[in-house]
Amino acid sequence: MLRVLFIGKTNQTNEIISEILRSAFDADIEFEDPTKAFGEKGITIAPPTNLAIIDLNTSHGFGNAPDNIKIIKKNSPNIPVLVLDHHDDKKFIHPLVEAGASGVISHTPTELILTEAVTELLGGNTFYDYPD
């Protein structure tokens, strides 16, 4: 069973993403409000959680995204982090990768892209879906 910590606000898009994950991976998904996750000490993600998803679209205004990713990776280095981003320009995505994001995809991914990204991350690989 896939256990996901989804950092972002609950909205229709994130509910659709959650349903895809439940269907494709029998996922158990816990939503975490960005204000708590990106607070003073940051969040530590521990097993049995095996994937963190950060929705930058609904986490906007809760600190610097690369810094937040660095905190998560410092506190939980073995948990892959998939970032849902609303940019498709490398100049915005590159800092996320440098910060330790294991994958970056659109905040409105297709089912195919989402499942491919999660499969790659769970296999210890990276996955970045953005134009060259």
Instruction: Give the pLDDT score at 47.
Output: 80
How many domains, in total, are found in the chain? Answer: 1
Q: Which of 27-31, 55-59, 117-121 has the lowest mean pLDDT?
A: 55-59
Q: 57-90 pLDDT, tens per residue?
A: 888 777 789 999 998 998 899 999 999 998 766 7
Q: 5-15 pLDDT, tens per residue?
A: 999 999 999 99
- Residue 37 CB-density burial (10 A; 0-12 exposed, 13-18 middle, 19+ buried): buried
Supply the range of the domain harboring residue 102. Answer: 3-128
How far CA 78 is from CA of 63, 73, 81, 124, in Å, comes to 23, 8, 9, 10
Instruction: Give the pLDDT score at 84.
Output: 95
Q: Which residue, chain included where needed, has tokens 């590159």? A: 94
More confident residue, 40 or 110: 110
Instruction: Give the pLDDT score at 49.
Output: 93
Instruction: Give the pLDDT score at 126.
Output: 96
